[in-house]
Structure formats: structure tokens, C-alpha cells
Structure 1
Amino acid sequence: MRVAVVILNWNGKALLEEFLPTVTQYSTEAEIYVADNASNDDSVSFVKSYFPEVKIIENKKNRGYAKGYNEALKHINTDIFCLLNSDVQVTKNWLAPVLELLKTYSNTAIIQPKILDYNRKQYFEYAGAAGGFIDKYGYPYCRGRIFDTIEEDHGQFNDTTEIFWASGACLFIRKKVFEELNGFDESFFAHMEEIDLCWRAKNKGYSIKYTGKSEVYHLGGATLKKANPKKTYLNFRNSLFTLCKNADGIVFGRVLVRLILDGIAGIKFLLELKPKHTLVILKAHFSFYKNLNKILLKRQSEKRSVKYYQRTSIVFDYFVNKKRYYDSL
């Protein structure tokens, strides 16, 4: 089973200097690629000079995470893609448990390892933690991270289990499944496109797993900081895209509730003196309305399932019932 580790890069020479050495050291059974998204720093020349064993794919423009990977992966012919952020430190033997699962379970299409915080290595990392889930209104959360509450790793998620979505920070996917799904939805640009991809895979009957036997450490926010309003915009907009495209049944009631909850979030940002975030939530809603016809056309072309998301509200559980940890849900 051939695997390619593919790192999407945009002006990330400093990150490649710090994190690429562990990837090359601990991934000897894989082909390693840097897919460069039209960087204007010297990332490409740096890799060519110091990591000649790493193959380089040069995209002509920076089209974000979704289209960047879609374009790059067309040039790679392996059984498994590992999509790895440029700010991830891998560990010894990180590939073996994942590849063993893919060999053992033919219907498992996507796998995520345990993702820990690079700066606080005893804690889970925000983007993925120990595997993702979603509630009935399209809010994502993780084992080990619900909203801004991040758990310490005590071995509570050292298992191998079914999850709903895998983090794009480190996501393994079978090449044939990625192609069957037509890759990422490029209208997302960045953020939550992996949740959309996983939901579409679930709707086609594929299994998605997490394994705590493989660990990586994610710096997080290296390309777009959490406090950046653009990140807020993409997360709110793309969450609406994902919910409307993929949820089963009559989805408009759930979308309406989600819009109301987003409005409450906007008020919260105002009270926190973050008016730019409130404005980008409004911008995200207008973008959703503008693209609604396209989203509905995509919805019509996809099969939907009824089984996989949490049927209660994670917002209600977290903010009203004060359930801060996954095991309390």
C-alpha cells in the first residue's frame, strides 16, 4: 500500500524549516511532497536545496486549501493520500497504525490520528483533537475539544473508533475515494472543507476512523490566526454551506435555527468589543444567500443519510447545561 504525505505550503519557509525534518525522518515508507500554492517567498528553493528527496508540485495560483489540494493531488499516483499541514510535527511510527487500519478495514476511507498541541504537548489541539463530530445545526466539535474548552490528554482517547469527521491538519484518505467524491468543494476556499468531504463520504456509506495509536503535534493558526475576522467569516459561511448541502430530511428548519444562533454569536462578539467579527458573520450570511441556488443544486446531486450527527444541540449542551467535556455529553 503506497502512501504519499502531501504538505500544502504558502509562504511557509519558516514552518518547513521547523517541521519538515520530522516528516522526512519518520516517514521513510512514504513519498513526501510539498505542494506549493504560488508562494512568493523562497520556500520552493529551500526545499530543493535542503530536502532533495522531497518532491515539489507548484500550483500556479494560491486558491486556498481546497483547490490547492485538488490541483496538487492530480499529479500524485498512490493508494493513500496523507494531507498534512505545514505546521505539524509527526512522531516515530506515526504512519504504521494508520496504514494497518486501512489494510484491515476495506470500507474505512478516512483516518485521523491523535492531534496534540505543539506548544502544550499534554493537551489536545483545537483543530481535530481526538476526532470530530457535528450536531444537528452543523456545529462541529471534537473528542477532547468543545468550543474553546480543550482537554488535557490523560490517555482517555487512546482508542480506535468511528468518528464523523477528520481534521484537515492531518487527514488520511484513499485516493479512489477522494476521486469518487471529486475532492474538496472549491467554493469553500479554506476551513471546514474537510468536514464537508467527510460528510459526503459518510453519505456514501464509507467509514471514518480515529486512532490514538498515532500521534502528531499541531502548532495551529500558522496561516490564519484564530482572532482574524477572515477566519470567522470562512467558518460561519462554510458551516452553513456544509449543513445545507449534506443534512438529511427537510433541512431549512435547521438552517433557520443556525442563522438565529449565528445572530446570537454576533451579539456576543459586539459585547466583547469585537465588531469586525459581527460584521463578517453578516457578510457570511449574505454570501450564503447569494450562493444558495448553487448549494441546492449540489444538494440535489448527493445522496444523504440519517445516521451520523448528534441530534441534540452542542450549543445548548455547552452554554446552558455547562457540559464542557466530551465524556459528559
Structure 2
Amino acid sequence: MAQGVPHCGNTDRVHRSPARVIQNVNQHRARSTGPALETAASLTAVKGREVTDPGTAAPLVSVVIVNYKVPDFAAQALQSLREADLYHRSEIIVVDNASLDNSREIITRDNPGIRWIGLKSNIGFGKACNVGVQNASGRYLLFLNPDTVVSKNALSACVDFMESHPDVGIAGPKILDPTGRLQPSCRRSFPTPFIAFCHFSGLSRLFAKSPVFGKYNLTYLDPERENEVDAVSGSFMFVRTSVFREAGGFDESFFMYGEDLDLCARVREKGYKVWYLPSTQIVHFKGQSSSKRALGSRFAFYNAMLMFSRKYWHTYGSFFPRWLVLIGIFLQAGVNIGASLLQSLTASFIDLLIVNTVLWVSIAIRFSSVPTTNPYQTGQIFAMIGMHALMSLSFLLTYAVQGVYSRGRYSPLHALASGLVASTVFVASIYFTKAMAFSRIAFALAAVVSSFALVAWREVLPRLQTRFKRLVFATGPVIVVGANDVARLLIRNTEEDKSARIVGIVWPRTGDFPGEFEGYPVLGSIDKLKSILQAHRIELLLVATTSAWYSYFIEALGSLRLKHLTVKWVRRDLLARKAEHLPEVIPLQDFTV
């Protein structure tokens, strides 16, 4: 695999300014050989979809974002885009995959110029991207995940590189996680059977610097050097519009996962190159769109692996028997999905333990005065086992059907109502059972108590965990970014946590700043964030500002290993409220996911 920059000029190239980039665009526009691009106006009416078109002029870059129930992250991604060079030469297209929530309200509130496409059903990532491209008119396409924030030069660096290298069809940046570590998936090889075996067996981690074993994520390559690669991540994929259309767009049979690998493979088959560009960086809060359905995401991932192996068997897998590759995929899927199921069954196990304990205690109290009539000690023991099974089944099935085990749908009132429904079902099912007539009151009481107990452990346990962490693991040094009413209230909230220690304030704007805010020293302006984090070894960064700060944060992540840092931020809708309309405790979004 080639290393270094393609031979198209000086390999020690310094990235040019946005003005120079625009000049390059104008020079190259005349000799574009791609097919004619449809105008945005001709594509605004899309049958079966709700399209909002701001009617802007033809852009240079069309940014396509697919949202599915992560409006806060999408709004955050758009805010970082507004700070990027060449944003004024871009159009933003948000395709909503039938989120059925307040996504449109949150996303468009501060982004009135975006083009909103609301789909009637969840059609998958690749197909939704294709819908977005149907409404795009830019020379370049940027497919951007909503759970990302981009650096200031994200657009200009990619345009600069593509204009200088007409043989490149796709480019992708250096991708960091919220702690500043490189996400290996930002540059990849195609998963041949041997490469996949090295990855899943752990050989690629054990011999990460080996060109033989480390090919899956190309860990043997310098992450700070530009390189030609097989594929880049779909979380930020910069593509020539003409090349995208020549390749036929995303394969819509890939519902979620695998569509980025597939597109890179077809683009390379067309004779274009795929390049990794560390000259620009993004932060990816991986998996937010799919975290609402974690187990389903596992199945989708391994299904995508099977689809890719079948589609490209003639190219990447013909050396190995197909059955051997399929067995390997199924084994890996079984191990990982089994682990996910075990994790998701933890709540069910606790529920079973509580329901059966409450029933046993209730019956024991009911017959405490006459122990010899206790059904557990008489010939009715098998009937009682049946009652335990029936009550357990009533609660587990009701909770499952009502979505109590889903993180996205849980609420205390919803869980309590579901428990009372389960109690009603259980009591009704035994009401006409004469053999249980002596214990109906005890059964009914046990069912009602269980309804409250199952809610109680879900509410109390997280609080106990938080208190334990505060006792054993102090929060440590805290810095607040912001100087507004929300920041004031956030400071008071933090002061109530005795384990937290506010070191100081970061002024949210560049330039002059006061010596203190709310009694705490102002450590510097936002453009000094990197040096402030380095000097004070901060463990918690609280962000309460709408000012531009993403680029400074990404700069700090790119050069500092902030593995102990947690970043929490305040939603924009709260920042827009007046002081008298703010809640007593400011809710925070967590970056460290």
C-alpha cells in the first residue's frame, strides 16, 4: 500500500488558506469532467418526503447529515460546522430517519438555513444519504454523522486536498474519541479473511506495528502522515459528487454499517483513490445514533459483514473456503451478541429476584401465625412454584412489551404504570383459581409491592452508585467555560458537590477578560483552552456557552492525552433562557460516551 502524498507537487506541502482554496476551486471548476449536477431548485419536491428548502445559491460543499433520535448531538455538530472555514460556501442537508421526536425543533432552532428532509419511515443510513444527495448541488459531498464535532479547517483542508489531487475520489480525516485517542476505524483495509482473522483473534492488537498483522486498521502507519488507504470512516466521508454518482451512490441494501466500506470499494474499482488526511481532525462520540437499539445494532453490524463478504468474495475472499469465513463471522457474532444479551439481561435478573422475594415474603407473613398451613411447607409447593413463574412472566413480558427495558423509553411513571398493568394481569389470572383462594390477598399485595419495588431499585441504585463514586473517587479539579446566568447556576450546582473543586473559569470569548467571575479566577480566554487544560490537569470541564469553542477543544485533544477528562455541556435551549426560567439543577450532556 502506498505511503506518503501522491506525486502531485511538493510532498512536504503546507495547507493553504481558505482564500487560496477558493481560488483553486475556481481554477479547477472549468475542467471538471464529472456529470452535470442537478440544481437544488429542481430537486426540492421529493415525493413522499417533507422537504424544507432555504433556496440558497449553488454551494461548493453539500453536507449531508442523517439524524435518528439524536437532535442534541446533531445541533452540536451543526454548531461546529458554523465555525468552519468555507461554511459560507456550503449547504447543509439534514435527513431525518423518522425520529418521531422533537428533532426538527431542536435542530432547526439555531440553524434556519438548513434544508430539512423528514422521512416517513427509517430507511437506513445509506438510503437516507442517497435521498440527501438527490437534493444536493455542491461540487463535493460531506457525509457527516450527527455525533461528531469538526475542526475549523475541516472543509477547507478537504477541498484543498481534493482540488490538488484530481485522482482522489474520497478523503477522510483523523478521528479522535472524546479522550483524544485515535479511533482506529478512521482508516482501514478491506476485510479479507486473513485480515479479519487477525483482527478478531487479537493478533492485530498484539502486533499492531506489523504490516502483516496490523492491516485491519492500518495501525502500522503513522497516524500523522497522509496515506492512501482502502477505506475511511463513514462518520466523516468527503467525496466528489461526480465520483459518488458515477459509483452509483450508497448500496441501499446495507441498512446500517458496511455502506462506507462498500462505497470505498466501488470508488476504487472505478479507478479513484481513497486517502486519509490527518491535517484536519474531528471528534466522534461513537455509536450515539445506534445506542438506542444496542442489541439491534450488533445484529446489523454482523449482517453487514456477511453482505460485504458475499458481495466481494470474488475480490477479497476466494482463497479461503466460503463456509470457513461464514463460520468465523458467526462465531464472532455469537460471542459479542451473547455478551450484549448478558448485559441487557442484568435488569431482568434483578427484576426476577425482587418479584420472587416479595412474593415469598408476602406469603410468609400471611401464614406466620399458623406455620403448618404455609403452602411452601405443604403439598401445595408445586402450585406455589407455578405462581412464582406466572408472576415473573407477567412482569417480564409486560415490561418488555411496554419498553421498560429500553434505555430510550424508560421513565419512573412509565415503569410504575407497566408494573400495575402486570399486577392486574397476574391477579386476574388467578382470581378464579380455587386452589389459590386462601392466598389471593397475599398475591395481590405482592404484585402491587413489586410494582413499586421495581421502580425503586432503578431510581435508588444509580444514586447510590453516584454517592459511592463521590466518596471513593473525588471528582477532582473542575473548570467552567462560560460567563452567563447558566454558568452561575452551574457553579452553584458544582459547589454543592463537596468532592468537586472549581479551579477557575475559562472566558468564552477571545480578547480581554476580567480577573474573576462569581468569586473564581478567570484562567484565560477560550483560545488558551489547550494550555489551561495542560497546566491544571483538569478532570471535569463544564461548558455553558454558545461561543465558538469546538475547534479549541479539538486542538487540545489532538495534542494532549486527556484520558481522565470528562466534558459535559449545557443544551443550547437552556442557554437561551432567562435566569428566572432556568431549573434549579442544570441538566448536562455527557461527551465522554
Report deviation, 1:255.
Answer: 2.9
Match among 262, 265, 287 for residue 196 of structure 1? 262
> 1:255 and 2:311 equivalent?
no
| Residue equivalent to 1:100 | 160
| Residue equivalent to 1:139 | 196
Structure 2 regions of 5+ residues with no counterpart? Answer: 1-24, 26-59, 209-216, 345-593
Identity of aligned residues (%): 25
Name the SS for the 1:134 alignment partner. coil
What are the residue-to-residue correspondences of 1:1-329 with 2, within 5 Å? Answer: 1=25, 2-26=60-84, 27-117=87-177, 119-121=178-180, 123-125=181-183, 128-129=185-186, 131-137=187-193, 139=196, 156-225=222-291, 228-248=294-314, 251=318, 253-266=320-333, 268-269=335-336, 274=341
Give the TM-score of the pair, scaled to structure 2: 0.42
- Higher RCO (Cα < 8 Å, 6 or more apart): 1
**Aligned residue-pair number:** 268
One-letter amino acid of the counterpart of residue 179, structure 2: R
Q: Structure 1 residues 271, 29: closer, same or farther in 2, change over 3 A?
A: closer
Q: Structure 1 residues 36, 273: closer, same or farther in 2, change over 3 A?
A: closer
Report deviation, 1:29.
Answer: 3.4
One-letter amino acid of the counterpart of residue 235, structure 1: F
The Cα RMSD (Å) is 3.2
Report deviation, 1:184.
Answer: 1.1
CA distance in 2, matches of 1:43, 1:260: 41
One-letter amino acid of the counterpart of residue 11, structure 1: K
One-letter amino acid of the counterpart of residue 139, structure 1: A
Q: Which moved more, 1:1-10 or 1:262-271?
A: 262-271
One-letter amino acid of the counterpart of residue 208, structure 1: V
Name the SS for the 2:136 alignment partner. coil
Q: Structure 1 residues 238, 81: closer, same or farther in 2, change over 3 A?
A: same
Asked whether the 8 Å contact 2:158–2:171 carries over to 1, the reply is yes
Asked whether the 8 Å contact 2:295–2:337 carries over to 1, the reply is no
Q: Structure 1 residues 17, 273: closer, same or farther in 2, change over 3 A?
A: closer
One-letter amino acid of the counterpart of residue 44, structure 1: R
Give the TM-score of the pair, scaled to structure 1: 0.72
Q: Which has the larger Rg?
A: 2
| Residue equivalent to 1:326 | none
CA distance in 1, matches of 2:339, 2:98: 37
Structure 1 regions of 5+ residues with no counterpart? Answer: 278-329
Report deviation, 1:276.
Answer: 9.6
One-letter amino acid of the counterpart of residue 136, structure 1: T
Q: Structure 1 residues 173, 9: closer, same or farther in 2, change over 3 A?
A: same
CA distance in 2, matches of 1:32, 1:273: 36
Asked whether the 8 Å contact 1:139–1:239 carries over to 2, the reply is no
One-letter amino acid of the counterpart of residue 264, structure 1: L
Report deviation, 1:46.
Answer: 2.7
Name the SS for the 2:116 alignment partner. strand
One-letter amino acid of the counterpart of residue 77, structure 1: S
Q: Structure 1 residues 276, 256: closer, same or farther in 2, change over 3 A?
A: farther
Report deviation, 1:61.
Answer: 2.3
Report deviation, 1:203.
Answer: 1.7
| Residue equivalent to 2:562 | none
CA distance in 1, matches of 2:145, 2:72: 13
Cα offsets for 1:275-310 (capped at 9, x unmatched): 799xxxxxxxxxxxxxxxxxxxxxxxxxxxxxxxxx
